[in-house]
Structures are given as C-alpha cells and as structure tokens.
Amino acid sequence: MSENPAANPAIAKRFRGFLPVVVDVETGGFNAATDALLEIAVVLVRMDETGRLYRHETAAYHVKPFEGSNLEAASLEVNKIDPFHPLRPAVTEQDALSRLFKEIRAEIRATGCTKAVLVGHNAHFDLGFLNAAVARTGIKRNPFHPFSAFDTATLGGVAYGQTVLKRALLAAGLSYDDAAAHSARYDTEQTADLFCQIVNQFQPIFESVAASAAVNAVPPALS
C-alpha cells in the first residue's frame, strides 16, 4: 500500500472520526492468547466525492508462528496453511504489524481521522488476535480502537438476513469463490466489498439524519 493524496477527509465525518479498516486473520486455532497468527490482511476503504465507500488498497502478510504458539490440526485443515513450508514468505508478527500500522497511520492523517476502527466478519475474533499480537510484540502507537469494531456478520444480518459471509455476499449480489476462501487477502477484500455495499445502501438514511441534525442545530431567529 502507499499513501495517496486523494484520500477524502469527508470519511471522518461519516464515522465520527473513525477510519474503518477491514482486517482478516488466518490462525492456528481459536485462542488468541495461545494459537498462532498465520496470515493477516488489511484493506483500506475510501470515500468518493458522492459519499460512497469503495475498496481501495490491500496489504497482506504471511506470519511466522510466534515461539511456543499452538497449531490446531483442524484449523490448518480449513485454511490449508503449512506454517513451516520452506517457500512460505513469512515475516514476524513485529514486522507485519509495523508495516501495516505505518500505512494505516498515514491514511488516518490523510483523512483527518483520529483512530482506526476494525471492520471484520465476526470482527471480535480478528480484533482479539490483533490485540494479542500487539501485546506480545510490545508495538507502540497501535492505530486501532482497542475494543470497538464494525461487524459485517451483524450488518449482513440486518441488511440481508444473512450472517455467513458467503451467503451475505451472494444475497448482496456480490461474488464468492469457495476455492479462494480462507485466504486472509481474499476474505478481507470480500468483507470490504460487503461493508462498502451495506454502508452505501444506508447512505440516504445517514444523509437524512445529518440534514435533520443540521436544521435542529440552527438557533431560532430573534424576534
């Protein structure tokens, strides 16, 4: 990813100063404290001049299991990751997070936001692994809010009556490739597309509320 001066600062007003950043992780299990982080991907979303969100840039890393981490065979069967394959271009948690956080902080500055908020499908799973990796590595200046998140499982249920990522995407008229699923990059990009579509569908409601708030904020004329 690279900093782009075309970032639209209007996105800061849309989410109360938060910058939505889509994240997906692939892991060696379900326990963020003990199980390995194996892949992490991030998608930056941007806002066009009409106020609509779109998927912008993606960054993804294979991650080396931290020392002493647990690897559950059932999880590796699902994500098809061989953590110790000699050709796997993996970096340490420290390196992966440092690179991603640098890009996210640059986007926060470019948009005038104050903090990133994680967007994910079952978002608190991803946020839990992210926070655990931050704690292990001691990385400072984590751009993400420590506990707030936008969950597309919830949003998909509200918008389309579907909470499973594949079903929500198909209900939204978007694509899903079973063969590509459970790659952090692919899942993050699909989640970003779903998030953008749902937010854009609700844009008329947001604009109506914002217009009403603006009218109510005008002080009455003196008589």
| Residues with catalytic function | 182
- Please say whether the beta carbons of 47 and 8 come within 8 A: yes
Q: Which two tokens stand for residue 215?
A: 């009218």
Output the DSSP codes for 148-217: EEEEHHHHHHHHHS--SHHHHHHHTT----TTTTT-HHHHHHHHHHHHHHHHHHTHHHHHHHHHHHHHHH
- Whether residue 190 contacts residue 165, with contact meaning beta carbons closer than 8 Å, is answered with yes
Backbone φ, ψ for residue 57 (5° rounding)? -125, 155
φ, ψ at 22 (rounded to 5°): -85, 135
Q: Contact 139/98 with Cβ under 8 angstroms?
A: yes
